Structure 1
Amino acid sequence: MTQSHSPEPITVAYTGASGAGYGLRLVQQLLLLGHPVYLMVSSAARVVLKTEEQLGLSANPEKMTEQLNQYFGTEPGLLQVFAKEDWFSPVASGSSAPKKMIICPCSAGSLAAVATGMSNNLIERAADVVLKERGQLILVPRETPFHAIHLQHMLTLSQLGAVIMPAAPGFYHQPKRIEDLIDFMVARIMDHLGISQQLMAPWGYANKPLDDDSKS
């Protein structure tokens, strides 16, 4: 008799970079697949969510959880939002934090703080915990251009085992909508998490060969 295993919890953080749609779509997909999500939303991220997605969220974690459950159309229980200084939350300790965390989108400030081990708020502490416990940390920066300090922080984090995945969607799948570009990035994130996804077929499974007249 085989035992059924519940999907593992995953930590997600939204910070103040542009690209709020990436983070929203990611959490939606994780919840649809039954993964418990521990979510943290910075103050700057709430401004971006309001600006880009017309989604005004309360600063109160319980109220925000209710709002997001309604937004995603999910039942209460899988999603839990933590305040920026909730040091008693599971993500604050290596003994209970999920082994996988995504900061999406990741601001340049958050990138710097994680790279230097600042841990001044729960997002930074949660990322530090994942690194020290040798878990999987994925950061999705959305900034351009990068200067040398940004690149140095990315190199530092990559050397520590984090995955740096800039929000740079491809176009070979012939996107027709902004949502197609968002799904490209979310699919890549989920692939790296080892989570089966139906947003995009792997390369070689969906793309068609060029006609003879178009080959050059």
Structure 2
Amino acid sequence: MGTGPARRWIVGWTGASGAIYGVTLVRELLAAGVHVHLVVSDAGWRVLKEELGWDATKRWDSLRSGLGLEADDSRLTYHPQGDIGASIASGSFLCDGMAVVPCSMGTLSSIAHGASNNLMMRAADVTMKEGRPLLLVPRETPLSAIHLENMLKLARLGVRIIPAMPAFYYGPQTLEDAVRFMVGKVMDGMGVPHRLYRRWGHSNDEG
């Protein structure tokens, strides 16, 4: 795909802790002119409620409010997880790739084993089979051997594994700083320009 407003990315939110990572990523992608196709697992909605206070019973209203969208905003397309016939379930749907942020170990395992039991898993499966970038941000600790084996399997298939491990060299002062660092690392993997954190060897003005 090209650059600018024509870019399209699929983003998945799962039930792993760290909902703020996914929310911040989508906000930044929309601000960068990327059209986002969003799918949220049922467990993901529960975490949004527990961690951010979103109303999981009014899903579109919660998305619009939480992401700062107007009622007629066309920058975001929301797909219910059960809609296995959605556009993003097909390889003929053109997009730049997919990111699952945060990614639960259950979702990661399903992707590693080719399960396509719902739209999240199917979209990830399609992303891999079409040779498009797939980025996963697992948020779990400690990690079992099964977790590590699944991540290694996916990494060997070309999947980008970006664990939620904020750095401290740039002197973060707030939780928001740490979140912006992680989201910036994901956007680096997407090839989407940003100024979310200070890079090593750069001044604050350089981004």
Contact 1:16–1:44 (CA<8 Å) still a contact in 2? yes
Match of 1:53 in 2: 52
Whether contact under 8 Å (1:14, 1:20) holds in the other structure is: yes
- Does structure 1 conserve the Cα–Cα contact (< 8 Å) formed by 2:166 and 2:179? yes
TM-score by length of 2: 0.92
Percent of paired sites with the same residue:
44
- Residue 72 (str. 1) matches residue 71 (str. 2): no
Contact map agreement 1:69 1:79 (CA 8 A) in 2? no
**Equivalent position of 2:126 in the other structure:** 129
Whether the aligned pair in 2 keeps the contact of 1:99 and 1:130 (CA below 8 Å) is: no
Distance apart, 1:71 and its partner CA:
2.1
Q: Say whether 1:203 aligns with 2:207.
A: no
Matched residues, number: 201
Distance change (3 Å), C-alpha of 1:129 and 1:4: closer
Aligned residue among 67, 87, 95 for 2:92: 95
Distance 2:39 2:87 in 1: 12
Q: Which amino acid aligns with 2:62?
A: Q
Take 1:102 and 1:24, find their aligned partners in 2: how far apart are those partners? 12
**Paired amino acid for 1:173:** Y
Quote the RMSD (CA, aligned, Å).
1.7
Query: What corresponds to 1:32 in structure 2?
Result: 31
8 Å Cα contact 2:87/2:93 also seen in 1 = yes
> Which residue identity does 1:46 align to in structure 2?
W
- TM-superposed deviation, 1:146: 0.7
How far has the Cα of 1:167 moved from its partner?
Answer: 0.3
Matched letter for residue 115 of structure 2: M
In structure 2, runs of 5+ residues without a counterpart are none
Kindly state the Cα deviation for residue 89 of structure 1 after the two structures are TM-superposed: 1.4
| Whole-angstrom distance in 2 between the partners of 1:74 and 1:34 | 13
Shift of 1:140: 0.3
Paired residues for 1:153-192 under 5 Å: 153-192=150-189
Kept after mapping to 2: 8 A contact 1:65/1:79: no
AA in 2 matched with 1:68: L
Are residues 111 and 198 of structure 1, via their aligned partners in 2, closer, same or farther at CA, if it must alter by over 3 Å? same
* Structure 2 residue 128 is matched with structure 1 residue 115: no
Q: Kindly provide the CA deviation profile for residues 21-45 of structure 1, in whole angstroms up to 9, marking residues without a partner as x.
A: 1000000000111211111111111
Contact 1:65/1:80 (CA < 8 Å) preserved in 2?
A: no
User: Bigger shift: 166-175 or 197-206?
Assistant: 197-206
TM-score by length of structure 1 reads 0.88
Q: CA deviation at 1:64?
A: 2.6
Q: Distance in 1 between matches of 2:64 and 2:46?
A: 19
| Separation in structure 1 between the aligned mates of residue 136 and residue 3 of structure 2, nearest angstrom | 30
Per the alignment, in what secondary structure is the counterpart of residue 6 of structure 2? Answer: coil
Q: Which amino acid aligns with 1:27?
A: V
- Which secondary structure state, in structure 1, belongs to the residue aligned with residue 69 of structure 2? coil
Change (3 A) 1:130 1:4: closer
